[in-house]
C-alpha cells in the first residue's frame, strides 16, 4: 500500500533465560510505534537468532538478556552476524547488564545498551533514528 | 518504466541467487516484493518461468486453533519424508498504527537452522482477506527457490478471510473443540473453502462433537463434489494425527494433478492474471478486458510458463488505452 518502507525489528532472547517481560514490552512499544516486530520466543541459540535475522531480513535486532551470560553470547552473535554479512543491521541490547560491560559490548558493534527503567520513548526514538535505510 | 542496465543486472543476479536457493537472496527478494512495486514486478518476471513446481498448502482457521503449532509438526513430517519446505506466516497489522507483532514463528523456531526450511513472517499491512498482498509473490519466490512444499498461514480467520483459496492448492481449515459457536458463525465463509478439515486439540472434550458438526454440515452440500474433504483429528502438541494429515495433503495433490484438478489449476492461474490486472487498473475495466480475445490466450500462455501474469496484465492494459484513443 504505502511505498514507505516499514522498519522490521527482531526481538530475540538468547540463551537459558526465561525472563521475557521486558522483551515483550519493548516489542509491544515498537509495534505501537508502527514497526513490524518479530519475536523469537525464549531460549534461542546465537545460530537461531542470526539465521532469523537473515530469513526475516530485519533492519534492527534487539537482544534481551537477564541471565548474566551476555559476555559469552553477544560476541558469538556478533561474530555470526559478521560471517553472514549482516553488518548493516542495527543491533541494540537490553536487560541486566553491568555498567562496566557496556564499553566492551559497544566495541562488538552493538550500538546501545538499555538498562532497567529506560523510558520506552527513548528506545523508540533510538530505533527510528538509527535504523538503516535500505531498499 | 525506466530501465537502467545496472538495475536489470542487479535484479538478474538476485533472481539467479534465489533460483540457486541462497537464503539471503530469498529474504531480500521477499522484502523487495513487499516494498517496491516496479522492481518487484521485474523480479517476478525473471522468477516466474522457474515456478510451478511447488505444492502450496494453505493453513487457516480461527485464532488460537493451533495453526502455528500444527505447521511446526507438518514441517517435521515433511522433513522426515525428505521434502524441502517454505513457510509464509501472516499476522495482522494494526489499523491504527500500521505496526504489527509477528509471533507465528515462535512455534517453528526449531527449524530455523535447517538449511532446507525457510520461514518468513509477514504483516497484512491492512489488506483484508486474511493474507498479505505480497503473500502470493513471496510464495513465488520460495517456489522459484525450489521448495517442494510451501505452507501459507493466514491470520486468525473468521468469516471473510478466504483469500487463501486464491493462493493455495490445498486448503486446510483448522478448528479446535469448544469453538462450537464459532463453527456456526463461520459456516458461510471458511467452511466452503476447505479441502481438508482438521479438528486440532483432539484430546479436549467435545472433539468428537466438532467432527460430527463438520461432517453434518458437509452432508448438507447439495452439489456432488469430486473431492470430499476429509475431517481429521490432530493433537499438534504431541504430533498425533499429523502423519495422516500429511498423507491427505499429498492425496489431494495427486487428485489435483489429474481429472477434475486440472481445471482447478487453470482456474488458479486465471485468478493470478486477474489479480495482476487489478494492480494496474480499476475493477470496472477488468470485465472489459476479460471479454478480449487475448485474455484466454494469455491464460494459456501462463499455464505453459511462456509469460508471467504481470507481463500479461501490462499487455492487456496497454491495448485498452490504444483502443480508447481510436473511439
Considering only CB atoms, which chain A residues are within 8 Å of B112?
Answer: 48, 51-52, 55
For range B234-246, the mean pLDDT: 96
Q: What is the pLDDT of residue A30?
A: 96
Phi, then psi, of B191 in degrees rounded to 5:
-60, -25
By Cβ distance, the residue of B36, B100, B106 closest to A36 is: B100
Same domain assignment for residues B203 and B279: no
Q: What is the pLDDT of residue B3?
A: 63
pLDDT at A85 over 60: yes
CB contacts < 8 A, A to B, total: 94
More confident residue, A21 or B2: A21
Interchain proximity B93–A36, CB inside 8 Å: yes
**Which B residues 89-148 touch A at CB under 8 Å?**
93-94, 97-103, 105-107, 109, 112-113, 118-121, 123, 125-127, 133
Interchain proximity A36–B102, CB inside 8 Å: yes
Flag whether A2 is in a domain.
Answer: no
Flag whether A97 is in a domain.
Answer: yes
A68–chain B nearest CA distance, Å: 23
pLDDT tens-digit readout, A15-57: 998 888 999 999 999 999 999 999 999 999 999 999 999 999 9
Q: How many domains does chain A have?
A: 1
More confident residue, B317 or B118: B118
Half-sphere exposure of residue A105: CA atoms within 13 angstroms, side-chain side: 25
Same domain assignment for residues B232 and B265: no
pLDDT at B197 over 50: yes
More confident residue, B118 or B259: B118
For range A117-134, the mean pLDDT: 93
pLDDT band at B183 (very low <50, low <70, confident <90, very high): low
Same domain assignment for residues B24 and B64: no
**Domain-terminating residue out of B29, B50, B71:** B50
For range A113-132, the mean pLDDT: 95
pTM for the model stands at: 0.85
Q: Calculate the average pLDDT of chain B.
A: 87
Flag whether A135 is in a domain.
Answer: no
Interchain proximity A41–B27, CB inside 8 Å: no
B181–chain A nearest CA distance, Å: 31
Same domain assignment for residues B129 and B195: yes
pLDDT band at B188 (very low <50, low <70, confident <90, very high): low
Same domain assignment for residues B164 and B180: yes
Cα separation of the two ends of chain B: 26
B299 contacts B273 by C-beta, under 8 angstroms: yes
Q: How many domains does chain B have?
A: 3
pLDDT at A2 over 50: no
Same domain assignment for residues B178 and B135: yes
Domain of A18 in residue numbering reads as 8-130
Closest CA to B150 of B104, B193, B175, B118: B118
Flag whether A35 is in a domain.
Answer: yes
pLDDT band at B201 (very low <50, low <70, confident <90, very high): very high
Report the CATH number at residue A21: 3.40.50.280
Closest CA to B27 of B145, B185, B204, B167: B145
Flag whether A73 is in a domain.
Answer: yes
Q: What is the pLDDT of residue B181?
A: 53
pLDDT at A1 over 60: no
Flag whether A37 is in a domain.
Answer: yes
Same domain assignment for residues B89 and B152: yes
Interchain proximity A55–B109, CB inside 8 Å: no
Same domain assignment for residues B288 and B180: no
pLDDT at B77 over 90: yes
Domain of B270 in residue numbering reads as 260-327
**Domain-terminating residue out of B230, B257, B284:** B257
pLDDT at B179 over 80: no
Same domain assignment for residues B74 and B213: yes
**Domain-terminating residue out of B214, B238, B257:** B257
pLDDT tens-digit readout, B129-165: 888 888 999 999 999 999 999 999 998 876 667 888 8
For range B300-321, the mean pLDDT: 86
Interchain proximity A33–B28, CB inside 8 Å: no
B23 to chain A, any CB pair closer than 8 A? The answer is: yes
B185 to chain A, any CB pair closer than 8 A? The answer is: no
Q: What is the pLDDT of residue A5?
A: 74
Q: What is the pLDDT of residue A4?
A: 60
Interchain proximity B112–A55, CB inside 8 Å: yes
Least confident of B6-15, B77-86, B291-300: B291-300
How far from B82 is each of B180, B250, B266, CA to CA, in Å? 37, 14, 28
Same domain assignment for residues B34 and B141: no
pLDDT band at B88 (very low <50, low <70, confident <90, very high): very high
Q: What is the pLDDT of residue A3?
A: 42
pLDDT at A128 over 80: yes
Q: What is the pLDDT of residue B326?
A: 45
Same domain assignment for residues B225 and B285: no
How many whole angstroms separate alpha carbon B253 and alpha carbon B251? 5
Considering only CB atoms, which chain A residues are within 8 Å of B32?
Answer: 135
pLDDT at B68 over 50: yes
Same domain assignment for residues B213 and B317: no
Q: Residue A36's beta-bridge partner residues? A: A8, B100
Interchain proximity B109–A52, CB inside 8 Å: yes
Amino acid at each position: 500500500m504505502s511505498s514507505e518502507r516499514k522498519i522490521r525489528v527482531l526481538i530475540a532472547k538468547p540463551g537459558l533465560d526465561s525472563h521475557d517481560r521486558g522483551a515483550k514490552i519493548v516489542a509491544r512499544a515498537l509495534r505501537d510505534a508502527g514497526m513490524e516486530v518479530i519475536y523469537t520466543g525464549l531460549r534461542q541459540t546465537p545460530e537461531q537468532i542470526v539465521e532469523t535475522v537473515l530469513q526475516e531480513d530485519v533492519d534492527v535486532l534487539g537482544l534481551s538478556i537477564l541471565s548474566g551470560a551476555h559476555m559469552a553470547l553477544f560476541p558469538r552473535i556478533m561474530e555470526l552476524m559478521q560471517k553472514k554479512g549482516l553488518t548493516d543491521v542495527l543491533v541494540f541490547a537490553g536487560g541486566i547488564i553491568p555498567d562496566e560491560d557496556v564499553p566492551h559490548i559497544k566495541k562488538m558493534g552493538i550500538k546501545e545498551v538499555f538498562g532497567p527503567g529506560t523510558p520506552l520513548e527513548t528506545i523508540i526514538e533510538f530505533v527510528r533514528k538509527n535504523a538503516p535505510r535500505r531498499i | 518504466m525506466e530501465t537502467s542496465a545496472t538495475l536489470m543486472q542487479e535484479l538478474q543476479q538476485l533472481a539467479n541467487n534465489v533460483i540457486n536457493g541462497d537464503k539471503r537472496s530469498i529474504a531480500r527478494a521477499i522484502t523487495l516484493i513487499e516494498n517496491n512495486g516496479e522492481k518487484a514486478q521485474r523480479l517476478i518476471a525473471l522468477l516466474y518461468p522457474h515456478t510451478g513446481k511447488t505444492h502450496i498448502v494453505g493453513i487457516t482457521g480461527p485464532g488460537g486453533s493451533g495453526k502455528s503449532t500444527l505447521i511446526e509438526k507438518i514441517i517435521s513430517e515433511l522433513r522426515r519424508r525428505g521434502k524441502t519446505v517454505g513457510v509464509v506466516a501472516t499476522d495482522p497489522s494494526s489499523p491504527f498504527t500500521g505496526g504489527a507483532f509477528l509471533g507465528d514463528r515462535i512455534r517453528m523456531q526449531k527449524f530455523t537452522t535447517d538449511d532446507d526450511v525457510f520461514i518468513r513472517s509477514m504483516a497484512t499491512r491492512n489488506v483484508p482477506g486474511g493474507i498479505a498482498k505480497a503473500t502470493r509473490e513471496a510464495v513465488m519466490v520460495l517456489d522459484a527457490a525450489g521448495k517442494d512444499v510451501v505452507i501459507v498461514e493466514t491470520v486468525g480467520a473468521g468469516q471473510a478471510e478466504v483469500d487463501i483459496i486464491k493462493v493455495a492448492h490445498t486448503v486446510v481449515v483448522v478448528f479446535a473443540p469448544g469453538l462450537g459457536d464459532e463453527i456456526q458463525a463461520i459456516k458461510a465463509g471458511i467452511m466452503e473453502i476447505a479441502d481438508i478439515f482438521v479438528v486440532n486439540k483432539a484430546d479436549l472434550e467435545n472433539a468428537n462433537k466438532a467432527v460430527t458438526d463438520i461432517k453434518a454440515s458437509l452432508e448438507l452440500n447439495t452439489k456432488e463434489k469430486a473431492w470430499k474433504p476429509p475431517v481429521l483429528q490432530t493433537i499438534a502438541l504431541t504430533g498425533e494425527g499429523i502423519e495422516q494429515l500429511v498423507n491427505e495433503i499429498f492425496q489431494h495433490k495427486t487428485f489435483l494433478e489429474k481429472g477434475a484438478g486440472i481445471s482447478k489449476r487453470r482456474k488458479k492461474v486465471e485468478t493470478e492474471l486477474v489479480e495482476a490486472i487489478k494492480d494496474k487498473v480499476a475493477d470496472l475495466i477488468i470485465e472489459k478486458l476479460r471479454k478480449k480475445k487475448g485474455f484466454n490466450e494469455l491464460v494459456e500462455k501462463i499455464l505453459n510458463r511462456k509469460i508471467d501474469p504481470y507481463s500479461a496484465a501490462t499487455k492487456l492494459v496497454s491495448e485498452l488505452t490504444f483502443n480508447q484513443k481510436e473511439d
